[in-house]
A and B are shown apart, each in its own frame.
Chain A
Amino acid sequence: MSTTLYDKIFQAHIVDEIGDDALLYIDRHLIHEVTSPQAFDGLTQKGREVRRPDLTFATMDHSISTRSLAIDACGPANKLQLQTLADNCEANGIQLFPVGHQKQGIVHVMGPELGLIKPGMTVVCGDSHTATHGAFGALAFGIGTSQVEHVFATQTLKQSKGKCMQVKVSGARPLGVTAKDIILAIIGKIGHAGATGCVIEYCGDTIEGLSMEERMTVCNMSIEAGAKAGLIAPDQTTFDYLEGREYAPKGADWDAAVAYWKTLKSDADAKFDIVVELAAKDIAPQVTWGTNPGQVIGVNQPIPAPEDFSDPIDRDSAVKALKYMDIQAGQKLADLTVNHVFIGSCTNGRIEDMRAAAAIAKQGKVAQNVTAIVVPGSVAVKAQAEAEQLDKIFLDAGFEWRLPGCSMCLGMNDDILSQGDRCASTSNRNFEGRQGRGARTHLVSPAMAAAAALAGRFADTRDFIAND
């Protein structure tokens, strides 16, 4: 039988079959303060317990300050939410990494760096960017709060099998083209609902050549293409990353685990429902111009006109996006001034992202009209960056160096933009109002964000690399 990696992981977790649905066992459940309180509440109301607190890990990330470790730093509502998480974890015996803990971080940064995510696992979290963990060859997807409650009580979820889309990226990556540019180019090609109902498996030599951090950036934004999940088959890069991490198997268990993990790949003749191919050489550093992640262009392309789109819905979306973003068709990105830069998030808040941004930051100073903040994805990322003195580079260049958290990716704390602000952001969503009511978000890679901070407008990161 020729099967895909998705088929294999799905099959291996079927507890029971119910009509067209399967009841899947869930190996890892990650939780945070925003989407869990109502689920705990539901359990309590029904007198139910968390079945496997040992498989469940919690962190504080969305509602916390990036300037202070005090849990009341962002006001009483945020404090109540954080305290509720702490109380619920305590009452149910769940390991929590609260603000100030050395293992705290954005849920999708913290999990992998502790070795909590292993190939072949099923991983869920009440958060759509759970897709990140697919970088390890784990079937990882975001769920709603009712499902969080279902997993608490049963450690299972009902799931129907989705379609499988293969996205193959081939060839050597041009200089200055990052993992963020690859995933933005993919979304630009298939559209931001292009993979609805699908799990994407990313493959091809370009993908195989990516580090784990880069693979996480790619899988992270699977949801921005509408996919349920993204997957990359585990290989030596995956095993090398995991070996020695706190929750990775040790000794004879490690050998048994690796032997199993090596079987986790799509068969050579596996059939995919949809196949999409890209050549790495055609990808340039990307910038979103609109209000959904599929509205994206290479840094040197002109902003498109509504007439450029044949589909009437796309045309309509373009009209609305141009208006909201206050830009004109045909305009050059290099002519757009930015007044905010955000480097961080579960897409680009890892150590390699900090390094890539610092490599540009050290070449100049943040432009006068720009406020630029760098928010590491976890305490561990922050510590590593400081050990490499990257914080000094950022501070010397005029960036702010903050405490870890989701921060301006969604602005549930005080890191929020104002009406009319234009931000070069390494996060994953450029929806209207995402970073603040009336604010305009352009998604870019960490290097592109740093370049925009120095130039005060969008700039081609390749010009900086040439100078490096």
Chain B
Amino acid sequence: MSNQSSPANAGISVHIGHVAPLNQANVDTDQIIPKQFLTSVTKSGYGKHLFHDWRYLDLHEQEPNPDFVLNKPEHEGASILLTRENFGCGSSREHAPWSLDDYGFKVVIATSFADIFYGNCINNSLLPVQLESAQIDALFEAVAQDPACQVVVDLPQQQVRFNDQVIGFDIAPHHKNNLIKGLDAIGQTLELDAKIKAFEDQQPAWQY
């Protein structure tokens, strides 16, 4: 491991994959990874529990729910999750992006994201792509027509491309830069140590 990037921050640029369409709004982090899996003290191994309540018919994860999108053979190996409004709302648990990443998702495309979840994705090199509602509809439609439809998510160009469609998306420049370079945010901030120290020296003691 180098000092500049951890394995989770390897840097992302252009991703090509196919899509798992999760046609639901307001998917909360309790659904993404329920509480009983939060007792682990490590960052890995959450993928098998991703969407546990929806994905399995039993508590012990022996019986997959055939109706759930991730269990459909045509969506096996999907690396792009497509969903709708307010994805990742609720608890701040970073176990949510860890479980998506561990399952094999590299990109989540949604109409909107909850704030904390969005930041957690950026910090784990999971690319959150926000598109307009009509564009999301078009992508759902394309995947319904052809589940194997190849989707290109091009971060440098800020584009999602599939069939003959090209859709641009917005992302803050610093988020884009950090994702592409896989930068270590803490290392960057530590270079500002003198400024942090100067700030601390100005504070009245009663403040704390």
Question: Residues of A with Cβ closer than 8 Å to B?
Answer: 15-16, 18-21, 23, 25, 27-28, 34-35, 37-38, 41-42, 45-46, 48, 51, 54-55, 62-63, 77-78, 80-81, 84, 118, 120-121, 126-128, 142-147, 149-150, 153-156, 158, 160, 162, 192-193, 196-197, 223, 226, 228, 249, 253-254, 256-257, 292, 313, 316-317, 320, 410-412, 429, 431-434, 437
Contact = CB atoms under 8 A, between A and B. Distances in A.
Contacts of B6: 42, 45
Contacts of A197: 115
A45 B187 CA distance: 13
A118 B35 contact: no
Interface in B7-62: 24-26, 28, 30-31, 34-36, 38-43, 53, 59
B90 A146 contact: no
A63 B39 contact: yes
A81 B196 contact: no
Contact of A158 (B94, B97, B189): B189
**Which of B24, B38, B200, B204 has the most chain A CB atoms closer than 10 A to its own CB?**
B38
A437 B204 contact: no
A160 B172 contact: yes
Contacts of B26: 192-193, 292, 317
Interface stretch (B64-72, B81-89, B99-107, B158-166): B81-89
B186 A48 contact: yes
A257 B53 contact: no
A126 B92 contact: yes
B12 to A, nearest CB: 16
A15 B195 contact: yes
A144 B43 contact: no
A23 B192 contact: yes
Contacts of B174: 18-21, 158
Interface in B94-141: 94, 97, 112, 114-116, 119-120, 123-124
A316 B111 CA distance: 16
16 contacts: A15-B196, A20-B172, A23-B189, A23-B192, A34-B39, A38-B94, A48-B190, A128-B90, A128-B116, A146-B124, A147-B119, A193-B89, A228-B115, A412-B39, A432-B53, A434-B35
Given A35-B93, A38-B94, A196-B86, 15 more contacts: A15-B192, A41-B41, A48-B190, A144-B97, A196-B115, A226-B86, A226-B115, A256-B204, A313-B25, A313-B85, A316-B25, A317-B26, A411-B35, A429-B91, A431-B28
Contacts of A37: 41-42
A155 B94 CA distance: 19
Contacts of A412: 35-36, 38-39
B38 A34 contact: yes
Given A192-B26, A432-B31, A256 B112 contact: no
Interface of B: 1, 3, 6, 24-26, 28, 30-31, 34-36, 38-43, 53, 59, 84-86, 89-94, 97, 112, 114-116, 119-120, 123-124, 172-174, 185-186, 189-190, 192, 195-196, 199-200, 204-208
A347 B6 CA distance: 37
B116 A429 contact: no
Given A144-B119, A144-B123, A15 B199 contact: yes
A82 to B, nearest CB: 10
A19 B206 contact: no
**Which of A15, A153, A254 has the most chain B CB atoms closer than 10 A to its own CB?**
A15
Given A38-B94, A144-B94, A146-B185, A437 B53 contact: yes
A267 to B, nearest CB: 23
Contacts of A160: 172
B114 to A, nearest CB: 6
Contacts of A48: 186, 190
A339 B104 CA distance: 40
B94 A146 contact: yes
Given A23-B189, A313-B25, A144 B120 contact: yes
Contacts of B42: 37-38, 41
A35 B92 contact: yes
A51 B193 CA distance: 10
Contacts of A62: 38
B92 A143 contact: yes
A234 B34 CA distance: 37
Nearest to B84: A313
Given A19-B173, A193-B85, A437-B59, A150 B189 contact: yes
B30 to A, nearest CB: 5
A227 to B, nearest CB: 8
A317 B25 CA distance: 7
Nearest to B38: A34
Given A27-B207, A35-B93, A38-B43, A193 B114 contact: yes
A118 B114 contact: no
**Which of A34, A41, A149, A256 has the most chain B CB atoms closer than 10 A to its own CB?**
A34
